[in-house]
Copies of this chain bind each other. A is one copy, B any other.
Amino acid sequence: MNIKSYLKKWKKKVDEKLIEYLPLEETYPQTLNKAMRYTVLAGGKRIRPILMITTYHLTGGRDVEKIMPVACAIEFIHSYSLIHDDLPAIDNDNYRRGLPSSHIKFGEDIAILAGDGLFSHAFYIISESNLAAIEKEKVLKVLTKALGNEGIIGGQVKDVESNCSMKDPKLLRYIHSHKTACFFSAACEIGGVLAGAEEEKLFSLRKGGLFMGMAFQIVDDLLDVKTKMKEAGRDENKLTYPSVHGIEYSRKIAGRYSELCLEYLKPIDEEGILEKIILLLLGRKN
């Protein structure tokens, strides 16, 4: 199994489905549909949907067509969070994946609404999918727990409230585990849920996904340090692993999280696909 071809194959499949499930650009209201499509289709590794598809397969799922709406919904939610994150009032990032952010391209009003639109669209796509009602219910329970005040939004709020002068490792762990890791955890768990995996496996997926997300976010922060040497931005004031623990020790923590992740996922990961994905993600240069 060549992991790069594996990721490429599934990214292509996810991209095709994202295009299919997004509202058409030429339909009314065009500005909104354009803005929704712009951020989703501006690129991205599609890690979260691919993780979901992978854990689905690894826990015995066979009907990948059936679960694609959920994989895409996860990416729509990720895109919504990026649009709102980039807004002037939050991270004030003018660029995303080398392109102007949504609010630069379409204006702040449309960007806020395009984020809301993608959030809503994610639930629409799940509701309208061919999954059984009981499957939709299970997916929504995992997903909405990860998204709300005890999940992503909770992490985001503590993120905007913190700054790099707060050398508080506990707060930092809260931010990362909520704003990033719980969504990785949910993506991994949902794959298992849709395959009908038993609770023991779901527990491993949940924990493995959580540690994967933690490691991922630290690596992201470390890559940001490199970028920040080139350009200044508001993010510089953020509470990050490098700002609290320094670069070397942050690398060590990321390593420890990825070990914990692999430990949890090992019983499920017979072919070592998840291990390869994780090692690639954590060794990434961009």
Contacts and interface: CB of A to CB of B under 8 A. Distances in A.
Given A32-B157, A149-B117, A127 B140 contact: yes
Contacts of A33: 149
Interface stretch (A39-47, A108-116, A202-210): A108-116
Contact of A133 (B23, B36, B126, B137): B137
Nearest to A139: B127
A110 B157 contact: yes
A148 B120 CA distance: 5
Contact of A149 (B36, B123, B149, B154): B36
Contact of A120 (B87, B107, B115, B144): B144
A145 B152 CA distance: 24
Contacts of A117: 148-149, 153-154, 157
Q: Count copies of this chain in the complex.
A: 2
A65 interface: no
Contact of A84 (B116, B132, B157): B116
A87 B140 CA distance: 29
Nearest to A141: B127
A115 B150 CA distance: 15
Contacts of A23: 149-150
A153 B116 contact: yes
A136 interface: yes
Contact of A160 (B36, B110, B154): B110
B147 A120 contact: yes
Interface string A213-251: 000000000000000000000000000000000000000
A121 interface: yes
Nearest to A32: B157
Given A154-B32, A157-B29, A90 B112 contact: yes
27 contacts: A29-B149, A29-B154, A29-B158, A29-B161, A31-B157, A32-B149, A36-B149, A84-B112, A90-B109, A112-B112, A113-B156, A113-B157, A117-B149, A119-B119, A120-B147, A120-B148, A120-B151, A121-B144, A123-B140, A124-B144, A124-B148, A127-B141, A127-B144, A128-B144, A136-B137, A137-B137, A140-B140
List of 9 A-B pairs having minimum Cβ-Cβ separation, nearest first: A89-B108, A124-B144, A133-B137, A127-B140, A133-B133, A120-B148, A32-B157, A120-B147, A117-B153
